[in-house]
Structure 1
Amino acid sequence: MYAIVDIAGKQFKVTQDQFIYAPLMEGEEGASVEFNKVLLTDNDGKVKVGAPTIKGAKVSGKILGHVKGDKVVVFKKKRRKGYKVKNGHRQDYTKVLIEKIA
């Protein structure tokens, strides 16, 4: 069984006992979270599609921690002008364990 869930404007395909890295959420480590915006569920070939969401469907999970993603290097240069700028960025994510799809 899997579901497609909208978390903070991004869509994730989730199954039970799966880890996902969602955009940074409020909450302590070990806190439980519920996602109510379930767009699609598939239960052994029986597909339910929401318009836009499925009423009564929930995906519950547990926050495992707050982590940072890989570093992205931003380099700007204008040729023949002596202008060079190098910056880095690491996006914040929340690691979530999907516990139940109902």
Structure 2
Amino acid sequence: MVEPEAAPALHDAIQAGRVVSATGPVSSMGRLDCKEASMIALNGLARDADRFVLLSDDEVEDVMPDLADLGLATTPSGGAGLAAALLGKVDLPSDARILVILSEEA
């Protein structure tokens, strides 16, 4: 699960064991810029998500041209998951296979 550093609502709620509100600035990852998770989302992700990764807007923005060069024209929120993988934000074995869904078209 990837979230902006400016909106770590899920990340922080999982650590706290309850819904919490994030107070960061507006993120360029607009569709991921959620300041408070719903209980339904929190319960499902607490059960199903293996990891929670926080990315800065700068980190995602730096990867966007590389994605475009590969023909993957997406928005910062759409490319956040792939950005996390490309930036090595998740500790994975060298033979890991990653499924990333680009959820938005630029």
What range describes the TM-score normalised by the shorter chain of this pair?
A: under 0.3
How does the TM-score come out when normalised to structure 2?
Answer: 0.22
How does the TM-score come out when normalised to structure 1?
Answer: 0.22
Larger Rg: 1
More helix by share: 2
More strand by share: 1
